């Protein structure tokens, strides 16, 4: 199976959440929100069909938002066959529809069909994004198809979706190793890890977790007989993880110290504020006293003027 081909530029329609949909009529938007809300409340496959029937009845079967959510709910409720039927009726499915369906296929264990769906997407000149690339790489890992994983990874690089080649190589290898572990092929997982090291691809903490899981399931005897490159790599990356944890601890300690200083500063500011309030209160009382004194003097002068108008 090959999917490495020229992919057209992004399609002319805009994906969900784009601004072009904001101009739809208010009532249509309200119906959409209600329908999506109902879909999100589904907890099993039996609840999907009645809502889907209402979607068709209300003429919403071509609404990209609703169909996307419908596919997601089918995947979540383990109704992948129903999702496939819905997908087949979509006119010009976009990358979000493909991603939702591929995710569902992977969740249901249909890894090969998930990869095939990606190939179909590319064949229909639908421009991929990072989300669908990640989904299909996961499918490649679980299907133990390293060749296809490398091919899809290379395609992502060619399309400018993968900015860090080394990081994406690591993701690809880790996906395959994780797939081997999940399928119980533990010795094969260690073999792939050794090959990964031989090819100079740097492992990350997720790779180490996968390999440690394989070692734990194989048992201490298998681990003791593992090739030295594996043991050395695990030891090295374990040390790195410990160092990172120490660094995080130091950062946490620094944050705690800064928080304590901030708390102390807040207390000092509160104390200063209290003192300032007291001073302002005294000033206000003094101003009131002066005001009353001035008013009293003015009143006295007025009374004197009334009693001796000629003298004034």
What value does the mean pLDDT take over residues 56-64? Answer: 88
Confidence of residue 15 (pLDDT cuts 50, 70, 90): very low
pLDDT mean over 188-208? 80
- For the cut 80, the answer to whether the pLDDT of residue 109 exceeds it is yes
* 95 within some domain: yes
HEC secondary structure over the chain: CCCCCCCCCCCCCCCCCCHHHHHCCHHHHHHHHHHHHHHHCCCCHHHHHHHHHHHHHCCCCCCHHHHHHHHHHHHHCCCHHHHHHHHHCCCCCCHHHHHHHHHHHHHCCCHHHHHHHHHHHHHCCCCCCHHHHHHHHHHHHHHCCHHHHHHHHHHHHHCCCCCCHHHHHHHHHHHHHHHHHHCCCHHHHHHHHHHHHHCCCCCCHHHHHHHHHHHHHHCHHHHHCCCHHHHHHHHHHHHHHHHHHHHHHHHHHHHHHHHHHHHHHHHHHHHHHHHHHHHHHHHHHHHHHHHHHHHHHHHHHHHHHHHCCCCC
Q: Has residue 54 been placed in a domain?
A: yes
Whether 311 is in a domain gets the answer no
Interval 199-228 mean pLDDT: 70
Instruction: Identify the band that residue 222 occupies on the pLDDT scale cut at 50, 70 and 90.
Output: low
Q: How many domains does the chain have?
A: 1
pTM: 0.54
Who has greater pLDDT, 249 or 3?
249
pLDDT digits (tens, 9 = 90+) for 141-155: 778 777 887 788 777
Q: Is the pLDDT of residue 99 over 50?
A: yes
Domain containing 121: what range?
Answer: 1-9+29-157
For 263-309, write each residue's pLDDT tens digit. Answer: 887 888 788 888 888 888 888 888 778 888 878 887 877 777 777 66
The residue among 220 and 136 whose pLDDT is bigger is 136
Residue 46 lies in a domain: yes
Confidence of residue 12 (pLDDT cuts 50, 70, 90): very low
- Does a structural domain hold residue 135? yes
Q: In the predicted model, what is the mean pLDDT of the chain?
A: 77
Note whether residue 292 is domain-resident: no
Is residue 40 one of the residues assigned to a domain? yes
Mean pLDDT, residues 1-22 taken together: 47
242 lies in a domain? no
- The predicted pLDDT at position 14 comes to 42
Residue 159 has pLDDT above 60, yes or no: yes
């Amino acid at each position: 199976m090959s999917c490495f081909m020229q992919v057209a530029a992004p399609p002319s329609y805009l994906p969900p959440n784009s601004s072009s949909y904001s101009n739809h009529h208010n009532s249509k938007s309200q119906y959409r929100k209600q329908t999506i809300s109902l879909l999100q409340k589904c907890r099993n496959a039996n609840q999907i069909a009645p809502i889907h029937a209402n979607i068709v009845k209300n003429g919403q079967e071509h609404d990209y938002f609703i169909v996307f959510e419908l596919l997601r709910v089918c995947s979540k409720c383990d109704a992948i066959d129903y999702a496939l039927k819905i997908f087949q009726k979509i006119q010009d499915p976009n990358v979000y529809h493909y991603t939702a369906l591929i995710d569902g296929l992977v969740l249901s264990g249909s890894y090969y069909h998930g990869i095939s769906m990606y190939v179909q997407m590319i064949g229909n000149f639908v421009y991929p994004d990072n989300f669908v690339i990640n989904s299909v790489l996961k499918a490649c890992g679980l299907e133990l198809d390293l060749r296809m994983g490398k091919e899809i990874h290379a395609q992502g690089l060619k399309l400018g979706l993968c900015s860090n080649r080394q990081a994406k190589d690591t993701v690809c290898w880790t996906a395959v190793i994780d797939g081997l572990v999940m399928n119980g092929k533990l010795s094969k997982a260690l073999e792939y890890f050794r090959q990964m090291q031989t090819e100079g691809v740097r492992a990350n903490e997720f790779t180490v977790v996968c390999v440690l899981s394989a070692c734990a399931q194989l048992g201490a005897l298998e681990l003791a007989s593992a090739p030295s490159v594996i043991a050395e790599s695990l030891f090295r990356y374990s040390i790195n993880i410990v160092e990172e944890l120490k660094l995080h601890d130091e950062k946490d300690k620094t944050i705690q110290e800064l928080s304590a200083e901030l708390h102390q500063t807040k207390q000092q500011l509160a104390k200063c504020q209290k003192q300032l309030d007291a001073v302002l209160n005294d000033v206000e009382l003094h101003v009131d006293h002066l005001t009353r004194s001035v008013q009293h003097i003015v009143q006295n002068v007025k009374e004197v003027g009334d009693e001796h108008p000629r003298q004034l």
